[in-house]
Amino acid sequence: MNSYLIVTGGYVDDDFAVRWISEHDFDERIASDSGMEFFRRAGMMPDIIIGDFDSVKTETLEYFKEYGNIEWKKLNPMKDDTDTEAAIRLAIEMGAESITLLGATGSRIDHMLANIELLGIGLEENISITMLDRHNRIRMIDSGITIKKDEQYGRFVSLIPYSMRVENVCLRGFKYPLDNYCMRKFNSLGISNEITEAEAHICFTDGILLVIEADD
């Protein structure tokens, strides 16, 4: 599986990110604009740098220009999509089968919501896109999944309807099970469930869910 890492310009917990990257193999590492700042702080090299470079520090930009083995993708600042979206679409164009996003959360809630929206590209292209930070793993799904308790990301599993309705939701192996329940938007029913068995199953017949594994 072609696995790609994209580091964007939101908040990155360096200790967590360095450890996560060292524990996982990636075919390509992409810095999206000021995602370069993390790579420089961590002493790591991206394989690809993409962006309009309007938010990265000049000294960081010059630092990476000294290295000839990095592929550069310069974007026009007058564009409709974000640098993060451009990075995701580039990774897919290059053959990515799974994408991990770091730095996609942070203080700018508008950027965070936009990045959650971009998880839908994975559904359209039939690839896995996951947003990560120290406390959260966020995925968007349009079919059922299984989460093993010994592999879950945090203590809590929250399910948020992304479509207006998610039909016939069944939850097995959770503290709060559901059986053929229609989950609708604009309520908080799916927040802070917990896995109680070796495996937890999320099944539904139609709709889109956000699955957020979280810890305090």
Residue range 35-93, pLDDT digits in tens: 999 999 999 999 999 999 888 899 999 999 988 899 999 998 777 789 999 999 999 99
Residue 166's domain comprises: 141-214
pTM over 0.85: yes
Residues 105 and 207 in one domain: no
We report the CATH number of the domain holding residue 92 as: 3.40.50.10240
Gap between the Cα atoms of 46 and 52, Å rounded = 16
> Within this chain, do residues 130 and 186 fall inside the same structural domain, yes or no?
no
What order do you get walking across the sheet with 128-132 strand by strand? 71-74, 48-51, 28-32, 3-7, 98-102, 128-132, 136-141, 209-214, 156-161, 193-194
The 178-184 sheet, strands edge to edge: 145-148, 199-203, 165-172, 178-184
What's 146's domain CATH number? 2.60.120.320
- Whether residue 103 contacts residue 183, with contact meaning beta carbons closer than 8 Å, is answered with no
Mean pLDDT of 177-189: 96
End-of-domain residue from the set 87, 110, 134: 134
Backbone angles phi, psi at 96, to 5 degrees: -60, 135
Looking at 101, 134, 167, the residue that finishes a domain is 134
Residue 165 one-letter amino acid: R
Tell whether 10 and 111 lie within a shared domain: yes
Question: Across residues 139-168, what is the average pLDDT?
Answer: 97
Q: Out of 75, 110, 134, pick the residue that ends a domain.
A: 134
Q: What is the C-alpha to C-alpha distance for residues 166 and 207, in angstroms, rounded to an integer?
A: 4
Q: How many helices (H) and strands (E) does the chain have?
A: 5, 14
